[in-house]
Each structure stands twice: as C-alpha cells, then as structure tokens.
Amino acid sequence: MSDEHVYLSLAEGHEDDARWAYGTGFEDPLHGVDTTVPEGVDTGQLAAECVALADDALVSAQRLAEWTTRAPELEEEVALANIGLDLLGQARLLYSRVGQVDGTGRGEDAYAYFRDADDFRNVRLAELPGGDFAFSIVRLLVLSSWRLAHFERLADHPDPVLAAIAAKGVKELTYHRQYAAEWAVRLGDGTEESHRRMRRALEQVAPYFGELFTACDVRDEVAAVLRQVTEAAGLPMPVYRPLPGAGRSGEHTEHLAPLLTELQSVARALPEATW
Amino acid sequence: MVTTARGRTTTPTPAAQAFDARRARRVAEQVPDPELPMLTLADLGVLRDVRMTEDGTVVASLTPTYSGCPAMAEMRADVAARLRAAGFERVEIRTVLSPPWTTDWITDSGRRKLTEHGIAPPGAAPRGPVALVLSPTRRTVPCPRCGSADTEETSRFAATSCKALWRCRACREPFEYVKEI
C-alpha cells in the first residue's frame, strides 16, 4: 500500500477484496452493522419503504449520471455526478437493509440488477427522460426537497438502521436541494429563453407531484420550498394535474424499462462476475 | 489460551492485553485516508473505535463520510491489512452509521495538514435542519496558500464528495475546500 499517492495504491493488488468501481460482487455496505430488527417493527412495511426509497435513488442516480460528458459546464457535470453518487450510496445501504429484513437474505445487487421494471417502486418523476438542463434542475429540486423532508422524519424511525441511513442522507440532501434551488432561481430569473424553459419544466413535472405524497405527508413543507424558489425566480407555481398510474405500485412509464436495460446490461450479461 | 500479537500461544496478563490493545489502536490510527492521503483515518474522524475482545480479536469501527463514498471498502481493507501486518491475526471491521460522520470530527492536526497541502479545512458544521437560503451568503474561506480572505466559490462539488472548489482572487490560485457536513 503506497501511502504517499492514492493513485499508486490503486494500482496495487488487493488481497482484501477492496474495490473502487461500482459493479457486482461488492462488500455489503452494511458490513458489521447490527442488523437486528427491533420488536414491533413490521418487516414487510420496512422492506417496502426501503425498496421505494432505494429505487427512487438508484433511478435518479442513473438519470443524473447521464449528464456526464454533456452538462453545460464541467462544474455542473461534476456536481450532478456527485449528487448521483450520494444517491447511489443511499440506494446501496437501503437495498442491503431490504435483504436483511424481507427474509430473502439477498444482497444489494439482486435488487438493483435482477429485478424488472414492474418490480421497481420508484416514483415516475425519477424515471422520466433527462430532457434539458432546466428539466433536470426542476426535477432535482422537487425530488431532493421531498426526500430531505421525508428523511428528516425517518431519522426517528423505530428501525435504527433506516433511521441512521436517513440521518446521514439529510446532510447530503441539504446540499442537493441547495444546488437545485440556486440554479432554479438563476435560470428562472435569467434570460427570456432560460425563463421559458423553466416554465416548461415546471409544467412537465407537475403531473407527477401527487405520487410523492402518498406515503407520508410532507406536502406542505415541499410546497413551501417550491413557493420560496418560484417566487425568487419569478416563476409561476406549477398547477398540479394528477396523472393515472403510480410508480409506487409498479405502474411505470415506458421510460423505465430502457433505463434499466442499460443499467443492468453488464450485470445480466455476466451474472457471476466480480471486479 | 490465545495467540497474541507476538505470535506466541500463551495466557496474556491484563497488562499485556492492554498493551496489545493500545498498539492495535496506534496501528489503526496511522492508516492513511485513500482520498486525502495526507490525513490518517484518525485525523479524518472516521475511525470511531478500536478495541480488543477477550479472545484477542481486534475490533475496529469505521463510519463512512458520505453514503456513496467509494473509498469505504478501501478503508476497511486497509485497516484490516495493517493490523494483520502488525501481527494481529484476528481482525474484525465494523461499520458504524450512527451518529453520522461530521467534518467537526476532523482533528486539529488533520486541519493543519489539510492547510499545509493547499486544502482549506471546513468550518463548523451546521446543527439540526438547514433552511433553504436563496439570498447570496457572505462567507469567508481563507486561501490555504496565501491566507487572503478575498476568495470565492467556483463549484460546491469537486473531485471527491467531501470537497468544494474555490479560488483566491489575491494569489489567483484555485484551491479545494472540505465542505462542512
């Protein structure tokens, strides 16, 4: 192990299975955590909650990663990739928790790579195609505001593992929301073209708001953030027009399956591979 | 009867066991962080505990910095490898998720080393929920190279999760800044 330079140490052989890239066969991110489920916690409900939150995060991370090499500026590319990485980390922890509580003992890979679109429980907003930068910013603003408010509540969850994952996530999501909100104001209050695109993006995400508020009631909190941002940006508050269907029940748009095909392609082509 | 760090099979005295436990702690504390190699895991505050069980197993507890930090597996492997190389045969690495890591746990010596390497150390981490602030906030991060307070943020995200990008208007150098979390 070379102490002096991180890249030298990367090139050295690892006897202990440490790996740097994401793929299959990784060490459980909950390795060595006390995994007992406290009495009185409904394991079915806990597993369902963790799957939904993990699926939101995984699908969002994939969409954010799509900006890599094509963001407006290098700094934004780095930012979006960093936000995606935080969400991917949250997804890994949550999937690992699901495997411990749903009675199957499956690892994170089983959930991320070996389920089909019908089994995913993410909200549809997360899976919609990237669109332009304005759309990605508005979607990130809505999803991070919701997730932050929800995680603040989950930090008191009776399951200590979910509570700890949420408490950690709160700190990360605070940065995500701040990033999205600042860009929303800059674009909404920017040029005629950026303002027009932000208006369009708000109209595009509005039909998908409803799905976020079924499990827990943080609607007022999220609405307050959106009001604060749209007022500062000189944008109208979007009008909520619900769409039939619900990602939380596995009813997805046609966009999720192709996203998963790409995300899962290597793991499915080489299901036994580790790297 | 246990195999001690020195490789003999013997019944350790409490004093010998305490000595081994202290030595194990020192070994684990010196492991460098994979992404900020000028810091040890102890400097960074991710090494939460090192103890020795009655059967001579060294149990080291680590906490991740960010949920998606890809260096976590590397840290676990490095600590285990260093302890084994130091003669501790039974090593167990535990992950601690709660309380979550905060930059407040970076030690004073860690902060000094960051500055020496041109990375601005974090300020005090916010406590409790952080409200969304949209008005421009004035905050000062002194340039780690020239000390000037005339600096500005260029990106809140950088090469690793834990850092932001800044630049100094006085000496014109860009620098990284470990952001508070």
C-alpha to C-alpha distance for B49 and B25, rounded to whole angstroms: 8
Mean pLDDT, all residues of chain A: 88
Per-residue pLDDT at A76: 93
Pick the closest to residue B100 from B55, B140, B67 (CA basis).
B67
- DSSP letters along A59-70, please? HHHHHHHTTTTT
- A65: containing domain: 43-269
DSSP class of B144: T
| pLDDT at residue B115 tops 50 | yes
C-alpha to C-alpha distance for A272 and A267, rounded to whole angstroms: 8
- Greatest mean pLDDT range, A4-13, A51-60, B128-137, B139-148: A51-60
Alpha carbon of B3: minimum distance to chain A alpha carbons (Å)? 22
Q: How far apart are the first and last CA of chain B?
A: 46
Alpha carbon of A110: minimum distance to chain B alpha carbons (Å)? 18
Residue of B69, B94, B133, B157 best to disrupt the A interface, most CBs of A under 10 A: B157
Element (H, E) at B168: strand B163-168
Six-digit token string for A24? 């299959």
Evaluate whether B178 touches B122 at the Cβ level (below 8 Å). Answer: yes
Per-residue pLDDT at A219: 86
Per-residue pLDDT at A131: 86
Per-residue pLDDT at B127: 84
b/e per residue A103-114 (b: at least 16 CB within 10 A) = eeeebbbebbbe
Pick the closest to residue A204 from A253, A155, A268, A151 (CA basis).
A253
Per-residue pLDDT at B139: 77
| pLDDT at residue B130 tops 60 | yes
CB contact under 8 A, B73 and A19: yes
- Contacts A89 to B, Cβ<8 Å: 64, 66-69
Question: Does residue A195 sit within a domain?
Answer: yes
C-alpha to C-alpha distance for B162 and B117, rounded to whole angstroms: 16
Condensed to tens digits (0 to 9), the pLDDT of residues A151-184 reads 999 999 999 999 999 999 999 999 999 999 999 9
Question: Does residue A35 sit within a domain?
Answer: no
C-alpha torsion sign, points B51, B57, B58, B60: negative
CB contact under 8 A, A79 and B157: yes
Pick the closest to residue B160 from A156, A236, A107, A20 (CA basis).
A20
Question: Does residue A57 sit within a domain?
Answer: yes
Percent of chain B with pLDDT over 90: 66
Percent of chain A with pLDDT over 90: 70
Alpha carbon of B139: minimum distance to chain A alpha carbons (Å)? 16
Query: What are the φ and ψ backbone dihedral angles of A50, each rounded to 5 degrees?
Result: -65, -40
| CATH 3.30.300.130 boundaries in chain B | 2-95
Quote the number of domains for chain A: 1
What's the CATH code of the domain at A92? 1.20.1260.10
Half-sphere exposure in the Cβ direction for B66 (13 Å, CA): 26
| pLDDT at residue A28 tops 90 | no
- Contacts A85 to B, Cβ<8 Å: 66, 68, 70, 161
pTM for the model stands at 0.89
Residue of A175, A225, A227, A230 best to disrupt the B interface, most CBs of B under 10 A: A175
Beta bridge partners of A251: none
Per-residue pLDDT at A245: 73
Six-digit token string for A89? 């980390």
Evaluate whether A210 touches A242 at the Cβ level (below 8 Å). Answer: yes
Question: Which amino acid, one-letter code, is at B155?
Answer: S
CB contact under 8 A, B156 and A228: no
Mean pLDDT (whole number) for A15-33 = 57
**What ipTM was predicted for this assembly?**
0.86
b/e per residue A192-202 (b: at least 16 CB within 10 A) = eebbebbbebb
- Contacts A171 to B, Cβ<8 Å: 100, 102, 181
Give the chain A residue nearest B103 (alpha carbons). Answer: A171
| pLDDT at residue B50 tops 90 | yes
Of A3-12, A51-60, A115-124, the least confident = A3-12
Comparing A57 with B56, the larger pLDDT belongs to A57
Of A135-149, A182-196, A228-242, B108-122, the least confident = A228-242
Chains A, B: CB pairs < 8 Å? 137
Per-residue pLDDT at A210: 82
- pLDDT bucket at B7, cuts 50 / 70 / 90: low
- Contacts B95 to A, Cβ<8 Å: 29-33
| pLDDT at residue A243 tops 60 | yes
- pLDDT bucket at B9, cuts 50 / 70 / 90: low
Give the chain A residue nearest B100 (alpha carbons). Answer: A168
Mean pLDDT (whole number) for B152-177 = 91
Residue of A2, A10, A53, A82 best to disrupt the B interface, most CBs of B under 10 A: A82
Query: What are the φ and ψ backbone dihedral angles of A95, each rounded to 5 degrees?
Result: -60, -40
- pLDDT bucket at B8, cuts 50 / 70 / 90: low
Instruction: Write down the architecture of domain B2-95 according to CATH.
Output: 2-Layer Sandwich (3.30)
CB contact under 8 A, B68 and A9: no
- Contacts A1 to B, Cβ<8 Å: 78, 81-82
| pLDDT at residue B38 tops 90 | yes
Mean pLDDT, all residues of chain B: 89
Of A65-69, A127-131, A157-161, B124-128, the least confident = B124-128
Question: Does residue A217 sit within a domain?
Answer: yes
Give the chain A residue nearest B130 (alpha carbons). Answer: A174
**B3 three-state secondary structure:** strand
